[in-house]
Structure 1
Amino acid sequence: MKSRRLGADGPEVSALGLGCMTMSPVYGQSPDEAESLATLGRALELGITFWDTADVYGMGHNEALIGGFLAGRRDQVFLATKFGITRAGVNGDPGYVAEACEASLKRLGVDHIDLFYLHRAQPGRPIEETVGAMADLVHAGKVRFLGLSEVSPATLERACAVHPITAVQSEYSLWTRNPEDGILAACERLGVGFVPYSPLGRGFLTGGIGSPEDLDAGDWRRGNPRFQGEAFARNLTLVDKVRELAAARGVTPSQFALAWVLGRGPHVVPIPGTRRRSFLEDNAGALDVTLSSTDLAAIDAAFPRDLDAGQRYADAMMASLNG
């Protein structure tokens, strides 16, 4: 497994990570837990050891699942989790930071978290207050590195003045290119790793979703603007373009889309999410794909930076994005 460094002075991690969210009942029916655990085991075999979870995924279920698997294997994984999204809204109160960390440590069954992210910056609360409390966890040995998710360059800069930030996590893919408007460059300038989540467009760019009916009745994506009406139809044409470009290279659509994200810079470490071994293995193949200048020109023509693929969250959730 190839490795990349998260930030100028951060840790080395596997060049491709694993998003574990879908191992909890987020996209419809409850996942097959046996397959999820088998996927975690296969990830270790492949050397994909940068794992991402959050306390809100399954309201603790995801951390508990990973914690159970990690018993006796803790030193084999670089473990990232997130806090700050609660049933009552976004919470970055300094008093809540330690409480959230303790709860995550307990569910994960570990004595430290490798990378602790603020899942969303609380509107109206100075980022310095929250990051200051997170820094206390580093000094206490409960957390090794700090991260932020979905923040603006200005917020990142202010946070870095309080304590080194190792990684910023934001949605980034062929159809979500807004990080190129500032945060991607800010991370490179400040020596911060950039961790794209949903690099496969929440599964859309794999080519495996041809209709809203392909999603379970309880699937969260059914309420996502990109998976509805005119936006859905428009996005199907984008998927056709990915298929065409991937076929020309002799790779799968997933590998092509991931190779593009991996090519954004050595400080970029995507975390495609899956609960299935077959998808995990397919994703890993992206590390052997290098896109040519011809490929990149074709991508820019099909997926311009100002592409309107539909709003990526419903209005209420969009309001929580600091970026």
Structure 2
Amino acid sequence: MPQEIKIAMLGARGVGKTSFLTAMYEQFESTIGQTNLQLTPDLKSAAVLQERLGELKSLTDNFEATGGIQSTETSRSFIFDLGKKGTKPSLRLHFQDFPGEYLNSEATDQNREFVKNLLTESVAVLVAIDAPALMEANGKWHENINRPQQITHLFQSVYQDLKSPRLVILAPIRCEKYLQDATSASALLKRVKDKYANLINLFNSEALLPWVASVVTPIQTVGTVVFSYIEVVDNKPHFYFHKTSHDAEYSPQDSEQPLRYLLRFALKLQIERRNWTWGPYSPIRVWLGLDSSLKEAASQSTNGCKLNWGFTVLQGEKWLNVG
């Protein structure tokens, strides 16, 4: 059994988390996979990702983004084994999602406890941001869809008295329209910083600054679609997109970037492990068995971490600097 790393996924229902994981898996071979690593989903994850891939590749010229795969009413896991090609995997990446209802006022105490435990046990958290909701109509639908304050309050309740590092990835999804040029990419990054200022300030507090690394990694989930317009029905927004051309094919961009940062973070912790004492219940300990092939691949992958065109390290560079 490979060592397991938990990555919590936060984001609204339908924001595109499954599409992101599909794109990450699809792009892996042409990016990090060139380092002689292979990423293998378990059978259940593979089935869901294959369904979603089929949907993404068959998008019509004009469509509404509804989240694709029907939302689950229970927590859902996506499991990927990572290792050298042709050998047994050495690391298991366990992406854990949960229904948005777990954060609603009607959620049970058990639901809330599940979320708190997930964030406590997860070394990394990926905050999926619906980019059109963030950017369009002057951000009118951002609070309703992305729920930044609720996410901030969740981190406030969990990230207390940290004694080991965490990685938080802010990942705007469906960013095709907002990465057309340097100006639009800069505007996207500025809006993320503005609208998530409370969360960023929390991480930058005296108690958390030494422990939390945070990055922004915008993702073009399909690569050949752009936001078109919003139709409001019964005070509920419907976001429509169109393909860049009739025969444009599925071509996601930068979906591997969060994984690159995860490996970069892992390598840094591997390097630092001898310099301090780990608590007996620290989830960080799962990183400490990286084999040589994974270390080498992680080292190579750091060269591909983007730091411009909307990508940035907000804080915690010491946990990402492996030079």
Class of the TM-score when normalised by the shorter of the 2 chains: 0.3 to 0.5
More strand per residue: 2
> What TM-score, normalized to structure 1?
0.33
> What TM-score, normalized to structure 2?
0.33
